[in-house]
Structures are given as C-alpha cells and as structure tokens.
Amino acid sequence: MRGWIVGMALVMVAAAGSGTAQQASFYDLTPRTLDGKPGNLAQYRGNVSVVVNVASFCGYTPQYAGLERLYRELKGKGVTVLGFPSNDFGEQEPGSAQEIATFCRTNYDVTFPLFEKVVTRAGAGQSPVYAFLGRSGSLPAWNFGKYVIGRDGKVVAFFPSDVTPEDPQLRASITKALANGAK
C-alpha cells in the first residue's frame, strides 16, 4: 500500500509539473490590452492593483463611476485599477473592444486601463489572468468581482460584486496592501 501511495504521489507531482509554468506574481502576466496590443502587467509591479471583471450591461455597471473615482484618487499613491471585460455572466458584455471602449469613455469617463475581454470561469478557455487569480481560492460569481493585488503581485483580498469601490472594507484592504512593502 505504501508503495502505491508513493507512486501516486509521483504521478501527481509529474502531472502538476506538466504544461505551462505557473506565474509567481500577477505582474508576470501579459494580457492583451483592449485595443489588442500586447500588454505587460510588469509596469504595475510595486503598486497595489484592484482587478475587476467588468461588463457594460449589468446591474453593477454603475460601479464604473466609483472605480474611476478610486483610480483618480489613489493612482498618485501607487494604486491602479485594471478592468477585464467579461461576457461570462448573463452575456452582459457582448460588445466588441471598440464598443466597450466607447461605452466606458462616454458613460463613465473611464481612464483606468482596460484589457481584452476574458473568460473568468474555470475550465477550457479561462484567461491566464483569472487562472492566476483563481489560485487564491476565489473566482467571481458575477460581474464586478474585485481582487486587491499587493505590491509583490500576490492576491491579498477578494470582494464579490456587491462590494462597491467605496466600501470601507475594500478601502481598508487597499490601505493595508499599500502599507505592506511600502517603498
């Protein structure tokens, strides 16, 4: 029996080592920007990031306004907001990249970085960004789930859709992440 357990452990280790290497930091990922250009999250290394799966036609869509206020208020202090459009929940982000950009700019004056539409759900086709974020034990159950990423690129907190950008718990998590590893 002991030999069988050791053999199974070796098979599991070999299986875990197959495929692509897992990134150690969120800032190692390279998603494409909303305009289709290669993106590089390394430019945010050393900052605190709030990562949000966004959608244009959701009951939570007005949170764009709060996310933009958060971004403008804290970007000079080392915080960025990063939006990842997703059509996973209720097909509430059906538009093209250009339609998403126009909607965000026209309706909410969004200036924080937006990336290509992604699949947040686990399984085939899941974005590498959300595969990484999901290793924290949390994946969004709906649009506007929020992750706080520390300066080191590790997930420090997750907040579900109903937690607004103004919520004191989200703000406290950002403040704590800023204090940890302060430059």
Identity at 1, one-letter amino acid code: M
Q: How far is it, in rounded angstroms, from Cα 170 to Cα 177?
A: 11
E-strand stretches of the chain: 48-54, 79-85, 146-149, 155-159
Strands 146-149 and 155-159: antiparallel
Decide if 104 is catalytic.
Answer: no
Q: Classify residue 75 as exposed, middle or buried by CB count within 10 Å of its CB (0-12, 13-18, 19+).
A: middle
Q: How far apart are CA 108 and CA 11, in angstroms?
A: 51
AA identity, residue 80: T
Residue with tokens 């280790």: 13
Q: Which of 58, 129, 177, 178 is catalytic?
A: 58
Please list the active-site residues: 58
